[in-house]
Amino acid sequence: MEKNRHVLKEIIKVLLLCARQNVAIRGHTEERSNFIVILKLKSENDPILREHLSAGKDRATYLSPQIQNELIDLCARQIRDTLVTACNSAGCFGFIADEAKDCSTSEQISLCVRFYDRSTGEVKEYFLGFVEADSTTGEALAETFLNTLEEYGINVNNIRGQGYDGAANMAGKHRGVQARIRQRIPYANYTHCRAHSLNLAIVHACKEPLIRNLMDTVQTIAFAFDYSAKRLLQFKESLELDRDVKDAMDRKTKIKTLCETRWFSRVDSLTTFLKCYDVIVAALEELSEDGDSKARSHVCSILQFDFIVALVTAEHVLAPTNPLSALLQAKEQDLLEAVKECQAVISILQAERADDTVWEAIFSKCEEVGTTHNIAASVPRVVGRQQHRYDIPASDNQEFKREIQRWKARWADVVDKPATLADSLRAIRTPELYPNVYHILEILLSMPVSSASAERSFSIMRRLKTYLRSTMTGDRLSSLAVLHSYRETDIDLDKIIEKFAAKKPRRLVLQ
């Protein structure tokens, strides 16, 4: 029995190594797979394992893909059970979900939970796994979400917040996922992902014709340099000749392309383009002289004063959105702090819009950039009638009340009051004194600010399920994703073996 358990432990260790490091377990042939090769390497210094592998078909080797899936699933469940226990002990939690297609065109749904951990005094957001969706209607997705959470062992009646993007099937008022879930759990309030809302606001603002044309031009030129070795080499040579720009680029040697989905990240691309504007012009002119017809059209499009004005202004206006976006995607962020930070950015932009000195500084910078290339400041032609402008003027109530009064009196003479919801909860040393206040703060903290945790899990999915591993099943993908996400988490191998042995009769004696 001890020998059998030792062999199975070594098999599990290899599977965990591959899963945690995102190494493909199987290969085109089993004999040459990473799993078998690593086991054989370990067996060189392990006579018990070597004897087991050399036995071949005479005995159960426990190396088959079916056994691999069982062991991987048991390891992932051990981690997930720990997360579920912590979530259930919190009393209330927020639910976050998002969907994306994998490389085999299957619709994968990422399931995450958010709650306040009383033991550590911190807000936690945990990825629980993927589940394949047979249908993407609001009714089908809501049913899938709740059934899967119950399968994991989560008490779904404790949901107090839902966080999704603004897609109709998720956010629909009557037939969306959030509405369907609220029919069963009325207190599960829906929050539109704040990072997604910020992204939509920037998309809407960038529909202004000058900014829209700017984005198209910057993207076209970035692609022109990115996908041509000759043009990229010319850019690097021009960059070497301008030491000031090279230092400002901070060792970057390429123009950053615009992200098609995350518009708030475009400020980095615009900043890079503005820093190396002179180098880009020089490189395009050199390419034009060498007979590159596209380079000639590109250089003509950026040697315009209206392009420079749009570039400088857009880069300046979008600059505050990048730190705001990073803040909104933080796991420990709460809704109240998110609103405060959003209001701060709005206040900055409103104040700058009414400040003539800001516009004078922007215009001076535009003139400075234009003067280097003999571009005179000019006002573009406007039509007589502009109809689509974006900037046209334009329990017992009495007991609860007494508890609130005590809560206010508690902080009346305190100078250093808690700055965040989490700080307020940590300050309540005895929750029994303020049970309602404590529970309200817990609910507020559990309500999702963004669906960033779910979106991050899709990065894991794309690393795991590549075109070389496109036949991977949904269950195996979900388990591998959990093991890869929590690769620092220890696995109790003895418990895994006990569950494996108890699952059904085994040929080898394990307990």
Beta-carbon neighbour count of residue 225 at 10 Å?
24
Residue-wise pLDDT for 38-97, tens only, equals 999 999 999 999 988 887 555 678 888 899 999 999 999 999 999 999 999 998 999 999
Q: Kindly give, in sequence order, each residue whose CB lies less than 8 Å from that of residue 470, ignoring residues fewer than 6 positions away.
A: 102, 103, 104
Q: Do 178 and 170 contact (CB within 8 A), yes or no?
A: yes
What is the helix (H) or strand (E) element at residue 127, kind and residue range? strand 122-132
Q: The tokens of 168 are what?
A: 């109709």
pLDDT at residue 383 tops 60 = no
Q: Buried b vs exposed e over 115-124: b needs ≥16 C-beta within 10 Å? A: bbebeeeebb
Long-range contacts of range 286-289, CB-CB < 8 Å, 24 or more positions apart? 286/234, 286/238, 287/230, 287/231, 287/234
Fold of 84-192+449-476: Nucleotidyltransferase; domain 5 (3.30.420)
Q: The tokens of 330 are what?
A: 């933080």
Confidence band of 392 (pLDDT split at 50, 70, 90): very low
With tokens 């004078």, the residue in question is 360
The C-alpha atoms of residue 191 and residue 333 are separated, in whole angstroms, by 14
Average of per-residue pLDDT values in the chain: 88
Angle (CA) 452 455 460, round 5°: 125
pLDDT at residue 394 tops 50 = no
Residue-wise pLDDT for 143-162, tens only, equals 999 999 999 999 999 999 99
| DSSP structure class, residue 320 | T
Q: Do 34 and 25 contact (CB within 8 A), yes or no?
A: yes
The C-alpha atoms of residue 157 and residue 91 are separated, in whole angstroms, by 10
Per DSSP, what are the bridge partners of residue 114?
94, 125
Strand order in the sheet with 93-101: 122-132, 107-117, 93-101, 159-164, 189-192
What ranges do the domains of the chain cover?
2-71+490-503, 84-192+449-476, 199-372, 405-411+418-446
Stretch 328-342: mean pLDDT: 88
Q: Do 497 and 5 contact (CB within 8 A), yes or no?
A: yes
The C-alpha atoms of residue 225 and residue 235 are separated, in whole angstroms, by 8
Residue-wise pLDDT for 407-452, tens only, equals 999 888 888 888 888 889 888 888 888 889 999 999 999 999 998 8
The pTM of this model reads: 0.81
Q: How confident is the model at residue 476, as a pLDDT?
A: 92
The C-alpha atoms of residue 196 and residue 184 are separated, in whole angstroms, by 26
* Single-letter residue type at 283: A
CA-atom Rg of the chain in angstroms: 29
